[in-house]
Every structure is written in C-alpha cells, then in structure tokens.
Amino acid sequence: MTTALSGRIAVVTGASAGIGLAIAQELAAQGARVVINARRAEVLKQVADDINAKSSEHRKADDRQLGEGPVCVPVAGDCSEQGVIDQLLNTAKRSFGAEADLVVVNAGRGLSGSVLTSDTTQWDEMVRTNILGAAAMMRSAARRLTSLVPEGETGQSGAWLKRAGRDMIVIGSVVGRNVSPYSSMYGGTKFAVHGMVEGVRRELAPKGVRVSLVEPGFVISEFQGVAGYDPAWFKGVMEKIGPALDPADIARAIAFVASQPAHVHIADILLRPTRQEYP
Ligand SMILES: NC(=O)c1ccc[n+]([C@@H]2O[C@H](COP(=O)([O-])OP(=O)(O)OC[C@H]3O[C@@H](n4cnc5c(N)ncnc54)[C@H](OP(=O)(O)O)[C@@H]3O)[C@@H](O)[C@H]2O)c1
C-alpha cells in the first residue's frame, strides 16, 4: 500500500512534545521516514522508539515499502546551534540515503506577558530559539532542498513535476499575524518568523521549493507551562474559546500541505479553535 508521504524524508525540530511530536507521528503514519530533534534526549528516544514500534506493526500488517531499518531516528540537541542543525540534516541523508525533502521548523517556546511585563531573563532563550534558530535551520535546509533538483531543471515541464514536492514548513502563530498586547514579546518573535518565511518563500519559489507558514491559535501542549501562563487565567480563556486545538490537528494540516502535487503550493494555513475569535 502506498501512503500520501511514502518515499519522503523528513526532519522535524521540537519533536519531544506537543505539535512537533504529533507531526513526527503523522508524517511517519503517512509513510515518511523522519529524523526528529529536541533537547531532552531520553524523551526524544522514547518518541522514536514508539514510532518505530508502530511502523513495524504496519509492516507486518501490509506491504508498505519502507525498507529495512528504523523509520524514525532521534538527534538530541539544541536546534538553534549550527552543529545540531548540520547533524540533523546529515543524519537524514546517512540514515535514509538521500537529503531530506520535507523540513519542519517547529521548535519554539512561548512567554507569558508583554514587552512591558514578561520575564526579561527568558528573552534571550526565546529569541535564540524562535528567531535565530529558525533562521539558521531555514538557511541550511534551503541549501539542501535546492540541491535535490539541479539548477535550471525547474521549468514549466520536467522531471521535478513528477516527483514529490520539496517542502520547508515553518510554525508561526496567530500572534505573528495579529498583535496581541498581552503576549507582545512572544508575538514579536513570531512576527519576525512570518517575515522571514515570506522572504525565503520568494527566494525559493523560482527553484521549485515550497516554503509554507502554519499559524496555529491555541493548542494544548507543554507550551502553556513553558510560557508560564497563569493556570486560572488559561482556564478562563478555555471557558471562553475552548475546546482548544490538539497537536494532531496541526499535524494533519502539515501532512496535507506536504502531500500536494509538486506544482501546488499551500503557502499559508491559519488554524484556530472554532470559538477563538481573536487573536
Ligand atoms: N501551543 C500553542 O498554543 C501554539 C500556538 C501557536 C504556535 N505555537 C508554536 O508551535 C511550536 C511548537 O509548540 P508546542 O505547542 O508544541 O510547544 P511544546 O509542547 O512546549 O513543544 C516544544 C518542543 O520544542 C522543543 N524545543 C524547545 N526549544 C528547543 C530547542 N532550542 N532545540 C530543540 N528543541 C527545542 C521542546 O523539547 P525539549 O524541551 O526536549 O527541547 C518540545 O519538543 C512552537 O514554535 C510554538 O511557538 C504553539
């Protein structure tokens, strides 16, 4: 049986929890092989083990051509470091025999409060992960993704159209599109991400590489704890706009974007819980 992402090689950052974990699971379930990353090595290894156990059940149940060996390989480390980024992309090539053709730039963190009220001791880490790390990953991924099709071979016709698309998918946020004064420091990092994504999209589109932005609203994950949300405040928000999204809701959208034919680009998806009016 062929599934939507059979043959694709993916890299997903921030995959030990929340949205990245759901993306890794969904991509593997749809037939992709996946290199996953996060800083907590033990948690990440467990995620990879679970995905590999599930895929070997599938192998027994059907004739999917996944070949031998694991479908999911963990690479632990801080993905805002260039050495870790290189390791991730090199691992995809070494483990699965070709450059990754689907790179999901997901790792990031929130921060409760605004420019005026948020904890300044958290600013460095957030800016490094959300902006500088994402930029470094996009830059390295761009080089690899463009190398998959020789220069000059992405015209109106050609073999590239018969192959799967090459994708860079970046997680932004609704607060990277709408200013929310209550989360303006975190939102500011996502405004930067949105600007970078659109710039890189314009640079890579002529080369046949799809650069897509996914903008979630409220998603229940470890995000709220890491950001330091007041649980009573968050409970009130959920009463008003809930149920919130589940990480799997975002993962399905990403698999949909990546599984389009090579000439179709869904460049931007904004997902909110149905009752979330704003931001
Ligand atoms: N949840 C929401 O409501 C929401 C809404 C809009 C956008 N987003 C965005 O969605 C993305 C994922 O968030 P989430 O909700 O899934 O949060 P989460 O549950 O806290 O997961 C974040 C993931 O990123 C990893 N991570 C954080 N910093 C990292 C670093 N420097 N290097 C490598 N891995 C790192 C974490 O693992 P380790 O701690 O093990 O490193 C974890 O696996 C983020 O970019 C976030 O800004 C979230």
Q: Whose CA is nearest to atom 34 of ligand 1?
A: 38
Q: What angle do CA 216, 221, 224 make, to 5 degrees?
A: 90
Q: Please tell me the class of the 9-271 domain.
A: alpha beta
Lowest mean pLDDT among 63-67, 68-72, 254-258: 63-67
Is 148 near ligand 1, meaning CB less than 6 Å away?
no
Q: What beta strand segments (E) does 94-174 contain?
A: 102-105, 166-171
Give burial (CB, 10 Å; 0-12/13-18/19+) of 237: middle
* Choice between 191 and 182, residue whose per-residue pLDDT is larger: 191
Is 186 near ligand 1, meaning CB less than 6 Å away?
no
Sequence spans of domains, the chain: 9-271
| C-alpha to C-alpha distance for 38 and 21, rounded to whole angstroms | 10
What are the strands of the beta sheet with 102-105, ordered from one edge? Answer: 72-76, 33-38, 9-13, 102-105, 166-171, 209-216, 268-271
| C-alpha to C-alpha distance for 78 and 83, rounded to whole angstroms | 9
pLDDT at 167: 98
pLDDT at 60: 74
Mean pLDDT within 54-83: 84
Identify the band that residue 66 occupies on the pLDDT scale cut at 50, 70 and 90.
low
Which pTM does this prediction carry? 0.97
Identify the band that residue 57 occupies on the pLDDT scale cut at 50, 70 and 90.
confident
Is 20 near ligand 1, meaning CB less than 6 Å away?
yes
Examine residue 247 and say whether the peptide bond preceding it is cis (omega within 30 degrees of 0).
no
Q: Whose CA is nearest to atom 1 of ligand 1?
A: 219
Is 273 near ligand 1, meaning CB less than 6 Å away?
no
